Amino acid sequence: MTVTLNVNGVDHTVDAEPDTPLLYVLRNDLELNGAKFGCGLGQCGACTVIIDGHAVFSCTTPILMLEGRQIVTVEGLGTIDDPGPMQQAFIDEQAAQCGYCIPGMMMRAQALLNENPAASEADVRRALHPNLCRCGTHIRILRAVLRAGAAMQNGGAPSGAAS
Amino acid sequence: MRRAGRVVLIGLAVLLLGFAGFLAFAFRPEIAAQASVPSLEPAAVEHGRMLAEVGNCSSCHTTPDGLPYAGGLAVQTPFGTVYSANITPDPETGIGQWSEEAFRRALREGVDRQGDHLYPAFPYDHFTYASDEDIAALYAYLMSQPAVPAETPANRLMFPLGFRPLVAGWKLLYFRPGALTADESQSAEWNRGRYLVESLGHCSSCHTPRNALGAEERAEAYGGAIIEGWYAYPIGATSPAPIAWDVDSLTQYLRTGFVEAHGTARGPMAEVTANLRNVSDEDIRAIATYVASLMGQAAPATADEAAESEAPAAPPQTAESQVVPAAATGQDVGAALYAAACSSCHASGQPQPFGGLDLRRSTALFADSPQNLINMIFYGLPAAEGEPGPVMPGYAGAISAEQLVALVDYLRGAYTDRPAWTDTREIVDATMAGTTTAQIYSTDGVRRDPVVPEPRTQ
């Protein structure tokens, strides 16, 4: 079956079985390897992407649901040469150890900040609840998200200096 | 003119007299404040603790992040918001000045120490059946709790319900203080169960529909009701469970919140079953005995289906059975969605709680309201903090209203022989818009916010 998915602003026509989880299509068909497979059950958040503004587990979302939806992955937040505020904040706070949970954390955080750039630490903690990190960089991730929120409120100007 | 004036004056006088009469009828004297809490017997305190678990006192009188029994929980009613009282022994803001007599009057008659009528959000229409010994034990237990100074927020009720004497009128219509008399034709266990269920357990406060004035419809006792965004299933003769409950399955469910043939409690019953974990096995079995008798004998068809579906669904045998319909539009949307998103857990053949519940056993599908099914698909069932438990992913951000309606209606048609729901779209819209919110509970009874920052609005 062919499905048209709008990913990071670009339409892609994908030929895959309708019950294929979005995660597999992103990685195998579109080679967008930011989203990661952690559990396949919607319990770890490593696969989190944004669909129509909402953070969603791409491992439990079959593409059959997604015709015509706007999907944003971590690749849509910026590039290596021109990182977006979220990515720059994570770099500045050195918030990754192994990095496996990070794209999912960024996407869920981005969904929160898109709604409320002035989110408090309590808001961020509550919002990131579904995302697990096994290396223990939670505190840095929190700081990075708050830093990104501040940057977004200041018109998206990323801070260049590491903390 | 003068004659009309006299008529008006007489009419006013009659009204005033009637009002005064009503006030006199509604009047209750204040009971003197006690200077200090009396000494408490440890045995009574322990017995009272067990009774408080049965009565589920903490679920109203403790807020999710508050101190035990300090009150302040907003209880939404059709008449406005009532806040639960502070029932710690704090003398200023709690019940520290209440003698046992005052406490007993509150439970038996719904009147506080000062003589004000209590709103029936506090289910004294059930607590009135509690025995003197049990009320004394409950009093001892509450008085043994740490005193917490916490002012109860003012209620926000529609005019004129803030005028408490009006509750006396409600009581005249719907409330009779009294005691239960044992049914000699039934066993001691059944009678014990009946006592616990009808008095402190107050099960029908949730499981019985209410009339326009908020009183239980006695004629439809245990007929089911929507409460806190969940549908409390009928637990009497109209129980929709596809496999009939019996004493053993009810006992297991009440003690653990889980039983293989029916699933797991993740709505307000999670809190109830978490509290019942601390109650004696005999009392839980007694409650189960009474409730099973309310449900009556299983109809023959149900018993046959039960025997047939005891074994979990066989896993798919051929590739064909796993092919998802290609069409994602029209009639097949529901079937396609089920096959794509749900069947990998729910038709896996894995025993509970490792696999999804076999939907042929799902009470949610057989019930009169699709609310519970919609809650579960939409919010999912999140994991409990630091403890194992059944989980299910939620689809709130991913599924659209049309898709959710199609899926819900498909499941009803595919797995039950009940008539199609007529209010699916309305309930989906209300749930997605946040007009109806449901609390998801962990298996340990702790409230968990639905883990969705904002659901889809279309």
Output the DSSP codes for B233-254: ---STT---SS---HHHHHHHH
Of residues B336, B403, B456, nearest to A18 (C-beta): B336
State yes or no: pLDDT of A147 exceeds 50: yes
Task: Quote the percentage of chain B above a pLDDT of 90.
Answer: 67
Chain A residue with CA closest to B332: the answer is A64
Of residues A57, A62, A127, nearest to B340 (C-beta): A62
Q: What is the pLDDT of residues B159-181, one digit of tens each?
A: 999 999 999 999 999 999 989 99
Which residue do the tokens 């000494």 mark? B39
Chain A residue with CA closest to B338: the answer is A19
Q: What residues 383-412 of chain B have any CB closer than 8 A to a CB of chain A?
A: 383, 391, 393-400, 403
Instruction: Give ipTM to 2 decimals.
Output: 0.86
Contact A62 B451 (CB under 8 A): no
**C-beta separation of B382 from A130 below 8 A:** yes
Amino acid of residue A147: R
Of residues A51, A126, A129, nearest to B397 (C-beta): A51
Instruction: Say what the pLDDT of residue B258 is.
Output: 87
User: Pick from A44, A34, A160, A156: which is nearest to A107 by CA?
Assistant: A34
Which residues of chain B lie closer than 8 angstroms to A18, CB-CB?
A: 324-326, 328, 336, 340
Instruction: Say what the pLDDT of residue B355 is.
Output: 77
A156: confidence class by pLDDT, cuts 50, 70, 90 = low
Of residues B339, B395, B451, nearest to A130 (C-beta): B451
Instruction: Say what the pLDDT of residue B1 is.
Output: 61
**How many secondary structure helices (H) and strands (E) does chain B include?**
19, 9
A132: confidence class by pLDDT, cuts 50, 70, 90 = very high
State yes or no: pLDDT of B189 exceeds 80: yes
Chain A residue with CA closest to B455: the answer is A54
Give the minimum alpha-carbon distance from A92 to chain B in angstroms, rounded to a whole number: 26
Which residues of chain A lie closer than 8 angstroms to B395, CB-CB?
A: 60-61
Which residues of chain B lie closer than 8 angstroms to A71, CB-CB?
A: none
Report the DSSP beta bridge partners of residue B230.
B227
B148: confidence class by pLDDT, cuts 50, 70, 90 = very high
Q: What is the pLDDT of residues B360-398, one digit of tens each?
A: 889 999 999 999 999 999 988 877 777 777 788 889 889
Q: CB contacts < 8 Å between A and B, how many?
A: 73
Highest mean pLDDT among B119-133, B262-276, B429-443: B119-133
Which of A22, A24, A64 is most worth mutating to test chain B (most B CB atoms within 10 A of its CB)?
A64
Rounded CA gap, B393 and B379, in Å? 8
Give the minimum alpha-carbon distance from B290 to chain A in angstroms, rounded to a whole number: 39
Q: What is the pLDDT of residues B392-445, one digit of tens each?
A: 888 988 999 999 999 999 999 999 999 999 999 999 999 998 888 888 887 777
- Mean pLDDT over residues B168-197, rounded? 94
Rounded CA gap, A7 and A58, in Å? 13
Give the sign of the dihedral formed by CA A37, CA A38, CA A41, CA A45.
Answer: negative
Rounded CA gap, A111 and A91, in Å? 19
Which residues of chain B lie closer than 8 angstroms to A42, CB-CB?
A: 380, 393-394
Rounded CA gap, B230 and B331, in Å? 28
Give the minimum alpha-carbon distance from B230 to chain A in angstroms, rounded to a whole number: 23
Residue B224 makes CB contacts below 8 A (sequence gap 6+) with B207, B208, B209, B231, B232, B233, B234, B235, B238, B367, B368, B369
Which of A23, A60, A63, A72 is most worth mutating to test chain B (most B CB atoms within 10 A of its CB)?
A60
Bigger pLDDT: B61 vs B38 = B61
Contact B326 A19 (CB under 8 A): no
B18: confidence class by pLDDT, cuts 50, 70, 90 = very high
Rounded CA gap, B397 and A119, in Å? 20
Q: What is the pLDDT of residues B41-51, one digit of tens each?
A: 999 999 999 99
- Mean pLDDT over residues A11-34, rounded? 94
